[in-house]
Amino acid sequence: MNKKVLLQDLGLKDYKETWDYQELLFKEIVDLKIKNRREAAGLQTPNHFLFVEHPHVYTLGKSGDINNLLIDEAKLKEKEATFYKINRGGDITYHGPGQIVGYPILDLDNFFTDIHKYLRFLEEMVILTLAEYGIKAERSEGETGVWLDVGTPFARKICAMGVRASRWVTMHGFALNVNSDLGYFDLMIPCGIKDKAVTSLNVELGQKEVDMNQVKQKLLRHFELLFKANLIKQKTPA
């Protein structure tokens, strides 16, 4: 079992370009697994972890409802945002500057073959990171992601999640609001859940801006511990 995870920080990158890159890495792992099964090749499968920040974009999961996007194409252009219907689970979500997006592309055969556990570990990674900032974050029953003040009238989501898995290989991942422009969330029904607010780390801390790199380092430390992984930083592809 290969516990090495190749880490790349793609910086600010177009959503579709990043999706295509994810699909490429995903396919390479799946193809290798098929070759191993057919030919008993015994080849080691790689794992990847991508950090990225996207320009304003709304994405709709395969089971999502387009009506949860509350603006039309003209308004999207006005807001300099794009829209994609994609192949992850979940409903609609927003990505934009000031948000840390993480895409683990893992062969879970290298770790554990349990999607429920995988999602809980991603949530735990975020919960433990936020705890380092003095924020008590938690899960909300039946609602994937990370929330604050669950069970109260002030419940609000700080991290969205949506994944795809095939042959125990994952893609897509999580989006943690750090310095996000929360106005963009008003243009959709987040994850299809009405009457639930969205928040960002800088808002919760009462700061204008939180150091994104510091948050990333905390996330990675907890990821390594939870998954018993060995992260290896790679150069960003041209």
| Rg, Å, the chain Cα set | 18
What are 184-195's pLDDT values in tens digits? 999 998 665 666
For residue 37, say whether it is annotated as part of any ligand binding site. Answer: no
CB atoms within 10 A of CB 48: 22
In a domain, 222, yes or no: yes
For residue 158, say whether it is annotated as part of any ligand binding site. Answer: no
Query: Active site residue: 29, 125, 146, 191, which one?
Result: 191
For residue 161, say whether it is annotated as part of any ligand binding site. Answer: yes
In a domain, 160, yes or no: yes
In a domain, 61, yes or no: yes
pLDDT at position 111: 98
In a domain, 238, yes or no: no
Q: Is 191 a catalytic residue?
A: yes
In a domain, 25, yes or no: yes
Who contacts 40 (Cβ-Cβ below 8 Å, separation ≥6)? none
pLDDT at position 96: 97
pLDDT at position 91: 82
pLDDT at position 238: 60
CATH number at residue 139: 3.30.930.10
Q: Which residues of the chain have pLDDT under 50?
A: none
Element (H, E) at 144: strand 143-148
pLDDT at position 36: 92
Strands 137-140, 230-233: pairing kind:
unpaired
Q: Do 177 and 158 form a contact (C-beta atoms < 8 A)?
A: yes
Domain count for the chain, please give it. Answer: 1
| Burial of 128 from C-beta contacts in 10 A (0-12 / 13-18 / 19+) | middle
What are 111-128's pLDDT values in tens digits? 999 999 999 999 999 999
For residue 185, say whether it is annotated as part of any ligand binding site. Answer: no
Q: How far apart are CA 41 and CA 18, in angstroms?
A: 30
- Residue ranges making up the domain that contains 85: 4-233
For residue 64, say whether it is annotated as part of any ligand binding site. Answer: no
In a domain, 175, yes or no: yes
Give the tokens for residue 134: 């003095």
- The SS3 call for residue 129 is helix
For residue 93, say whether it is annotated as part of any ligand binding site. Answer: yes
Considering the entire predicted model, what is its pTM? 0.94
For residue 139, say whether it is annotated as part of any ligand binding site. Answer: no
In a domain, 80, yes or no: yes
For residue 91, say whether it is annotated as part of any ligand binding site. Answer: yes
